[in-house]
Structure 1
Amino acid sequence: MSTELSTTTTPARGLALASFDDAFRFATMVAKSDFAPKDFKGKPESCLLAIQHGSEIGLSPMQSLQNIACINGRPAIWGDAAMAVAMASAVCESVTETIDGEGENMVATCTAKRRGYERPTVVRFSVADAKKASLWGKSGPWTQYPRRMLQLRARGFALRDAFPDVLKGLVTAEEAQDYPTAPVTAEPVVVRPATPQPAQERVDPYEVAKAAIDAERDIAKLDRMRGHIDKRLKDKTFTPFQADELLDQIHARVEFLEAESEVTA
């Protein structure tokens, strides 16, 4: 089977995959390579889904793998890629961002203007908003790069409001990382009484002995069975009646085998 990928190339989109099989083969190759982002390493299925999500908003396969992430079980797009996708869209007229103030008075503003619309979408995200969402002072980027995080939060809201048809509902990865993960509620352990196992059918030694006698064709072994029956009579495995029946059966079996031997001689 050919491993070639049916592709086309364009200056804007780079590698374009022509079929699902091509996409999966490409995803498998990427997942095995050093080019795979950490979260996609060794996961061709995740690579394929990232490529699919990216293609729906106009990203090439490699752009998708670099800019689409799965965070808390939800696909997301990194903020810089979201800006690039929005600004490359024919419906986008302009996107501007500002940050006013210093320290705890900072306010990030993102203004997104959609072509053909009179009024732009304006979103502000302040330190007060970050505190209300329990983000301000949070360890990680909110402590290391507070201005950048305010900017990205305002950007994410503005782009989703102004260009929902372009981003197809994808949130920014920076925003998704701040969502609290749903606590995993353990299922209650229900202790049920053990299901009684059906009692095993008791093997009747008398019936076993009868079957063994009927099947035996060696007269010497039948003679030894007589001693076995006497022992089982003494340990009360067999009743006197059962022992007599078995001894009579052995006697009849021996006579049959002797007669059979004379006929065939």
Structure 2
Amino acid sequence: MSTSVVAYESASLDARMKYANTIAAAGQMIPRGLFDPATGKPSPAKVLLVMETGSMLGLHPMAALQSINVVEGRATLAAQLMAGLIRQAGHRLEIVKSGTIPGGDYAVTVTGTRADTGDVFTSTWDMHRAIRAQLVDSYEQNPQGVFVVRARSEKGKLLPWEAYAESMPKWRAISEVALEGFSDVTLGMRSYEEMTDGGIPMAEPDPEPSEDWLALFASAKTRADLDAVAARLAEKGEGTDKLRAAFMARAGVIAREEQTVDAEIVADETTGGGEAVDGDHPEATGVPATVAPGPEMTPEEFEAAEAARFDAEHAEVVDRD
């Protein structure tokens, strides 16, 4: 057991909870399975549950976050973690693949042999078994005679059993062997793949927009107009990285346009000494330094500053990506 795990175990509950809150604050760096659906942000409670489970298994907290997930309030182990724990305990785990997906005869057999008793546990998974378990819709030949796996959601979304057809039988076979013959090693916990009927999380599609946000951003003539659109977008919770980038791009264009117009006004209203009548920048009269990039700011620095300002004012847009 590493010293990091010992340090975590010896910490007080209050210290662990503070640690969980700190980790949860990492936002998008936390696996999506540990997010709270109600807030769209990482759940400190789920993070704490995962780290506590990892502690029982002798895992560093960071390793636990990558291989333990929470499903319906229960901690579950990734099949890869199960295999690692079984081998770490001194037992033998053998994985044998046969056939191919296109050939219609692909199968994976996992055999576990206990080091203490010599007992052997075996599980075989193929696409036909997956169909019986209703994990795969069909496994049939196409017009070219090649077998094709089809596993889709009710809305037609690609599911892991189709996207990762070669891997899913392996994970399910490992999970079955672990549960049957090595529950003392895995503490009787089930695998994430088994509990979710597919396991590997697929990227969620962007929310269906209620308005043409890209067009609204593009048509905004002033910064006030642009901010009004962004506020409405935040209220509806339809923000995405693509829309955030579009906001930033339009904000930059508007700022440059306003800077050019104000610079022309300054040229007409300056004294013989060339001093601006009004404005935070002599080059951009009437445009605050926090809005228009001055000569001391590169375009990259300006965009970074704008991104920070936007995140602060419209956090909902970013957090719900």
Q: Which TM class, normalised by the smaller chain length?
A: 0.5 to 0.7
1:47 aligns with 2:47: yes
Structure 1 residues 46, 119: CA separation in 2 closer, same or farther (over 3 Å shift)? closer
Asked whether the 8 Å contact 2:67–2:77 carries over to 1, the reply is yes
Task: Return the alpha-carbon distance in structure 2 between the equivalents of residues 145 and 9 of structure 1.
Answer: 34
Report the equivalent of 2:30: 36
Task: Return the alpha-carbon distance in structure 2 between the equivalents of residues 15 and 144 of structure 1.
Answer: 40
Report the equivalent of 1:22: 15
Task: Please list the CA deviations of residues 137-174 of structure 1 after superposition, one character each: whole Å capped at 9, or x if unmatched.
Answer: 32311111111001111011011212101111211111
Alignment partner for residue 146 of structure 1, among 157, 160, 165? Answer: 165
Q: Which runs of 4+ in 1 moved over 3 A?
A: none
Task: Return the alpha-carbon distance in structure 2 between the equivalents of residues 53 and 113 of structure 1.
Answer: 25
- The CA deviation at 1:105 is 1.8
SS in 1 for 2:135: coil
1:95 aligns with 2:108: no
- The CA deviation at 1:46 is 1.4
- The CA deviation at 1:63 is 1.4
TM-score normalised per structure 1: 0.58
1:169 aligns with 2:188: yes
Task: Please list the CA deviations of residues 60-115 of structure 1 after superposition, one character each: whole Å capped at 9, or x if unmatched.
Answer: 211122211112443211111221122112xx321110111223322211111111
Report the equivalent of 2:58: 58
Asked whether the 8 Å contact 1:110–1:155 carries over to 2, the reply is yes
- The CA deviation at 1:119 is 3.1
Task: Return the alpha-carbon distance in structure 2 between the equivalents of residues 86 and 118 of structure 1.
Answer: 14
Asked whether the 8 Å contact 1:58–1:85 carries over to 2, the reply is no
Asked whether the 8 Å contact 1:15–1:61 carries over to 2, the reply is no
SS in 2 for 1:146: coil
Task: Return the alpha-carbon distance in structure 2 between the equivalents of residues 81 and 119 of structure 1.
Answer: 21
Bigger shift: residues 158-167 or 97-106 = 97-106
- The CA deviation at 1:131 is 1.0
Aligned 1:152-231 pairs, distance under 5 A: 152-178=171-197
Asked whether the 8 Å contact 2:9–2:55 carries over to 1, the reply is no
Task: Return the alpha-carbon distance in structure 2 between the equivalents of residues 47 and 160 of structure 1.
Answer: 24
Asked whether the 8 Å contact 1:15–1:60 carries over to 2, the reply is no
SS in 2 for 1:123: strand
Q: Quote the RMSD (CA, aligned, Å).
A: 2.2
Asked whether the 8 Å contact 1:113–1:120 carries over to 2, the reply is yes
Report the equivalent of 1:243: none
Task: Return the alpha-carbon distance in structure 1 between the equivalents of residues 110 and 2 of structure 2.
Answer: 34
Task: Return the alpha-carbon distance in structure 1 between the equivalents of residues 6 and 23 of structure 2.
Answer: 15
SS in 2 for 1:105: coil
- One-letter amino acid matched to 2:23: V
Structure 2 residue runs without a partner (length 5+):
36-40, 137-149, 153-158, 199-321
Report the equivalent of 2:145: none
- One-letter amino acid matched to 1:54: G
Task: Please list the CA deviations of residues 169-193 of structure 1 after superposition, one character each: whole Å capped at 9, or x if unmatched.
Answer: 21111121118xxxxxxxxxxxxxx
Task: Return the alpha-carbon distance in structure 2 between the equivalents of residues 85 and 176 of structure 1.
Answer: 19
SS in 2 for 1:169: coil
Asked whether the 8 Å contact 2:2–2:60 carries over to 1, the reply is no
Structure with higher Rg: it is 1
Structure 1 residue runs without a partner (length 5+):
1-7, 180-265
SS in 1 for 2:91: strand
- One-letter amino acid matched to 2:168: M
- Identical columns (%): 25
Asked whether the 8 Å contact 2:78–2:193 carries over to 1, the reply is yes
Task: Please list the CA deviations of residues 205-232 of structure 1 after superposition, one character each: whole Å capped at 9, or x if unmatched.
Answer: xxxxxxxxxxxxxxxxxxxxxxxxxxxx
Task: Please list the CA deviations of residues 19-65 of structure 1 after superposition, one character each: whole Å capped at 9, or x if unmatched.
Answer: 21221111011011244323244421111111112222222211122
Asked whether the 8 Å contact 2:86–2:92 carries over to 1, the reply is no
Number of equivalenced pairs? 169
